[in-house]
Structure 1
């Protein structure tokens, strides 16, 4: 049973990373922001059913943690990607300015 809980939590985490990535692009508390948070919930319920977890109370902290950690990881990946992109653009514009002088 514990191995099934681990696999369900890992599946939940992996499922939520892209949703957290997408969610970071929307204004906080907008409709699409809420959709990105709530869209994976039916899949998490499906994972609970497929892995035979049922709805025992001890599984909730692990599954909820996996859910929000996946969202958080996706958000951080997007922030890091945007930061790297903006730094690269800034360096490129500085090189162009130097070449013009």
Structure 2
């Protein structure tokens, strides 16, 4: 990865994390294995893929974007659990 690609790479990671926090929050309120639950988990993936391809970023960044998406889902679910606890 060159210096020029650092900014698109960073913004993609921030996007993957940021968009998945609210999706994880919504997922936590959905019934497990329902259509809504499945949708909340996978909704951001096509946008992340399109962004990666549009910026010309290679396959080597997929683990990083996937990790940020999973972290966002976890954080969003955690926020919802913490808000609903008595």
> Shared fold (TM-score greater than 0.5)?
yes
Query: Runs of 5+ in structure 1 lacking a partner?
Result: 87-101
Task: Name 2:62's counterpart in structure 1.
Answer: 60
CA distance in 2, matches of 1:41, 1:58: 16
Q: TM-score, normalised by structure 1?
A: 0.73
Task: Name 1:5's counterpart in structure 2.
Answer: 9
1:15 matches 2:15: no
Aligned-residue Cα RMSD (Å) equals 1.4
Shift of 1:42: 2.1
Higher relative contact order (CA 8 A, sep 6+): 2
Q: TM-score, normalised by structure 2?
A: 0.84
Runs of 4+ in 1 over 2 A off after TM superposition: none
Residues 73/53 of structure 1: CA separation in 2 closer, same or farther (3 Å cut): farther
Query: Runs of 5+ in structure 2 lacking a partner?
Result: none
Query: How many residues are paired up?
Result: 82
Identify which range, 56-65 or 41-50, moves more after superposition. 41-50
Q: What is the correspondence of 1:1-101 to structure 2 with a 5 Å cutoff? A: 1-50=5-54, 52-54=55-57, 56-83=58-85, 86=86
Larger radius of gyration: 1
